[in-house]
Structure 1
Amino acid sequence: MNSRKKIFNDPVYGFVSVPYGLLLDLIDHPYFQRLRRIRQLGLTPYVYPGALHTRFHHALGALHLMQEAIETLRFKGADISDAEAEAVCAAILLHDVGHGPFSHALEHALLDMHHEELSALFMEALNQQFEGQLSLAIDIFTNRHPKKFLHQLVSGQLDMDRMDYLNRDSFFTGVSEGVIGYDRIIKMLAVHEGELVVEEKGIYSIEKFLIARRLMYWQVYLHKTGMAAEQMLIHTLQRARELALAGVELEAPRHLAWFLKNDNNSPAEPSESLFHFALLDDNDVTAAVKYWAEAEDFTLAFLSRGLLDRKLFRLEWRNAPVTPDELDAFRRRVASDYGAQAVAEHFVYTGRESNRAYDDAEDQIKILFKNGDVRPITECSDVPLYTQIVTKHFICYPKQLGG
């Protein structure tokens, strides 16, 4: 890699160094700069006001941790060429480049694709622009590279993505339960038979990591107020799309309007979708919601005004699914309280969320013992306690309906 470096001052890690060359060129590209305008935690600032950090921050942080991991693994004898080191850094830098505005809300409301698929499309487009310089990074990102541990560093149970977002989200929300010993975990990493492993003295750091992940999901990522706000935004966008497809003229920034008016935007024609998506950010959605707060359609205006003024719906977690009778009763009350102009399906909604701290069916975390044995962490710690799937059901509705 180039010996000349650009320094970024990061609030979590201090100085982050990026070598001049491919990595800095990627950071300077408009696709990546767009991440400055997309908040990492979407609508979470409605709950934790400090959570205003961006996906740009997160990508740089994940890059920094990747650089630390490469240095550690090389010191322990792992065979990582300069080309592979640059490629795995490019892969982690671009892992979230396909994220849309407000976290996952746009995926649910307007797109037929997940952000991982969009990230892969962006990487292919960038690879053409950079004349094949990202081919190795794409192979690592898609797990086609023979050295599996490189992919595990980008996307695995102990990847640099998770390690950064737990630390960063904890820092900016003020939720201390998410703080992990990322530096110790990285120092405990090693490569054994081509796979990423953790030295046995790192077991307790891994347990702390898994506990932190579980707590952050239920305290931050799935916080009921943040979830209510996201559900409202999803239904705001869905209602806007229904109206746009019915021929109603709605004010909206150009690139958001394109997605509202196109019924099928799966990547049959990826170039046009990618063009518009690459110019979408949180500002477009915020501007549209401000316009729609004054829309003639009651449902669209009600939802938009609620988002602007933080008049959020109530979300109740349940241990069992909401019954059809209860849902119907809530929706009948919408017509009673708000009149026929209210579209009940956008006022009361149900769903469920599942989470487990450690998925032992996925790529397992393996522990390397001093005698050379390698065993899954589930066999040598209390991690089985964290493999249980916790599923919660919810109903979301205007607080006025709850009495």
Structure 2
Amino acid sequence: MQGNEIMQEEKVFKDPVHRYIHVRDQLIWDLIGTKEFQRLRRIRQLGTTFLTFHGAEHTRFNHSLGVYEIMRRMVNVFEGRQHWNDENRLLCLTAALLHDIGHGPFSHSFEKVFDTDHEEWTRAIIMGDTEVHAVLKRMGDQFPKEVSEVIEKTHPNKLVVSMISSQIDADRMDYLQRDAFYTGVSYGHFDMERILRVMRPTEDQVVIKQTGMHAVEDYIMSRYQMYWQVYFHPVTRSAEVILNKILRRAKVLYLEGYQFTQPPHHFTPFFNNNMNTQDYLKLDESIIYYYFQVWEDEQDVILADLCRRFLHRDLFQYVEFDQNFILNEWSDLQERFRRIGLDPDYYLVIDFSSDLPYDFYRPGEEEERLPIHLLNRNGRLRELSRESDVVEAISGKKRTDHKLYYPKDVLDAPGFSEEKRAIIKILHG
């Protein structure tokens, strides 16, 4: 390929998770310097999790560099081995670095409200009129498309795709360790150095030597613990609920012709569903916070109250519930909320989360990822759950958790009416 040089002096980022992140390729260094990649400094990796774990202030920028570094180490392990073509080295490193470049502010909550997809925006940034695209094109006219296809999981080289998107890939191995470090928990730690040493390339995917099975078991269980102790933490979900409702309320008001004190210029393309790449790139979490502070003083009491709650961490409380609750009590509870002056569309929210800690091959399912295969001494492959009792015990099992969020402080406020009493009885059985 054309357009890349090896720099005379290696650039090094000091990193709390990987100790050092090494850059020798001019292409990678130039991509890091683009304004689209630098924007990731203004987008947190874990959205609202910092309201639960105060250390979780790390960004998509941190994570993207970490994924790049793990990919660099994987490539070094594969060098000279059968099925590995060193011509794919830069493609792997670039895809790893740019895999999250399309994330928006508070990624998943933002996507739900405005029906956006960070993977589609990743493609738009890589293929569009951007600094990132200009740097990539130095490697050839087709290189941006190849990078995009690896991230989209449509590239014909299945091995390269699996290195960044599989059950055990550079992306997951970084975010589990990085998120554990910044949240201060111990769940996400596993022996990555051991896993990297026992990784091997095949024609279709990365596999693990049989001798590394126990390190992979530890990795799978770390993922399971992180999801239920960190990613699906009920306080984080409460903050996400309020964030979601703020954005929905602002959109409803705009479409109804409400006159905002400060016109929401940055949101207008999203409210009208006609945003382009430049509109998308201008919106980051610092801009979101600016509007939330302005909207805290809006005349609309719902928008103002929700912004106050998010900014000052006055979050909703929750109760556990089962599916029968929806059928038997939901309509009655909504009506009682209206009678005490709370709009149930904003103050009574059902939220559920579910996770498959490890999944064997399920053709055609959404978010399907290749299972992990172990390579034995005879050169044969065996799917992980067929060899590991630990992994077999959780394979294909989906754990689901339902919660109902509401403003407990309103129910506890002076003026304890019979209506409030009835609501509390319904909520707490």
Task: State the SS of the aligned residue for 1:357.
Answer: coil
Matched, 1:49 2:58: no
Tell me the distance in 1 between the aligned counterparts of 2:60 and 2:277.
18
What is the match of residue 269 of structure 2? 258
Larger radius of gyration: 2
For residues 116-147 of structure 1, give each alpha carbon's deviation from its aligned partner in whole angstroms, at most 9, with x where no partner exists.
22212222125753433423322322334333
Among 205, 212, 217, the residue aligned to 1:202: 212
Give the Å deviation of 1:237.
Answer: 0.3
Tell me the distance in 2 between the aligned counterparts of 1:286 and 1:325.
39
What is the match of residue 151 of structure 2? 141
What is the match of residue 79 of structure 1? 84
Give the Å deviation of 1:233.
Answer: 0.4
What is the match of residue 294 of structure 2? 291
For residues 56-110 of structure 1, give each alpha carbon's deviation from its aligned partner in whole angstroms, at most 9, with x where no partner exists.
000000000000000001154442224x111111111111111111131110112
What is the match of residue 169 of structure 1? 179
Tell me the distance in 2 between the aligned counterparts of 1:113 and 1:283.
19
> Which sections of structure 2, spanning at least 5 residues, go unmatched?
363-368, 412-422, 425-429
Matched, 1:385 2:393: yes
Give the Å deviation of 1:253.
Answer: 5.3
Matched, 1:365 2:372: yes
Task: State the SS of the aligned residue for 1:248.
Answer: coil
Tell me the distance in 2 between the aligned counterparts of 1:321 and 1:117.
37
What is the match of residue 129 of structure 1? 134
Task: State the SS of the aligned residue for 2:379.
Answer: coil
Contact 2:82–2:202 (8 Å) recurs in 1: no
Contact 2:103–2:122 (8 Å) recurs in 1: yes
Task: State the SS of the aligned residue for 1:19.
Answer: strand
Tell me the distance in 2 between the aligned counterparts of 1:287 and 1:66.
36
Structure 1 residues 215-224 or 17-26, which shifts more? Answer: 17-26
Contact 1:31–1:278 (8 Å) recurs in 2: yes
Contact 1:349–1:397 (8 Å) recurs in 2: yes
Q: In the superposition, relative to structure 1, how do residues 142 and 103 fare at CA in structure 2: closer, same or farther (>3 Å)?
A: closer
TM-score (normalizing by structure 2): 0.86
Q: Which amino acid aligns with 1:145?
A: H
Among 119, 125, 132, the residue aligned to 1:116: 119
What is the match of residue 25 of structure 1? 30
Among 97, 100, 108, the residue aligned to 1:96: 100
Give the Å deviation of 1:42.
Answer: 0.9
TM-score (normalizing by structure 1): 0.92
Identical residues among aligned pairs (%) = 33
Give the Å deviation of 1:220.
Answer: 0.6
Give the Å deviation of 1:249.
Answer: 2.4
What is the match of residue 44 of structure 2? 39
Tell me the distance in 2 between the aligned counterparts of 1:229 and 1:218.
16
Q: In the superposition, relative to structure 1, how do residues 219 and 7 fare at CA in structure 2: closer, same or farther (>3 Å)?
A: same
Give the Å deviation of 1:172.
Answer: 0.4
Structure 1 residues 344-353 or 305-314, which shifts more? Answer: 344-353
Contact 1:147–1:195 (8 Å) recurs in 2: no
Task: State the SS of the aligned residue for 1:15.
Answer: strand
Give the Å deviation of 1:226.
Answer: 0.2
> Which sections of structure 1, spanning at least 5 residues, go unmatched?
266-271
Contact 1:354–1:390 (8 Å) recurs in 2: yes
Matched, 1:70 2:75: yes
What is the match of residue 427 of structure 2? none
Contact 1:252–1:287 (8 Å) recurs in 2: no
Kindly report which structure 2 residues correspond to 1:324-363, keeping only aligned pairs within 5 A, or say none: 324-337=327-340, 339=341, 342-360=342-360, 361=362, 362-363=369-370
Q: In the superposition, relative to structure 1, how do residues 55 and 317 fare at CA in structure 2: closer, same or farther (>3 Å)?
A: farther
Task: State the SS of the aligned residue for 1:255.
Answer: coil
Q: Which amino acid aligns with 1:351?
A: D
Matched, 1:395 2:419: no
For residues 247-269 of structure 1, give each alpha carbon's deviation from its aligned partner in whole angstroms, at most 9, with x where no partner exists.
11222653234323x1x34xxxx
Q: In the superposition, relative to structure 1, how do residues 258 and 9 fare at CA in structure 2: closer, same or farther (>3 Å)?
A: same
Tell me the distance in 2 between the aligned counterparts of 1:93 and 1:107.
22
Give the Å deviation of 1:192.
Answer: 2.5
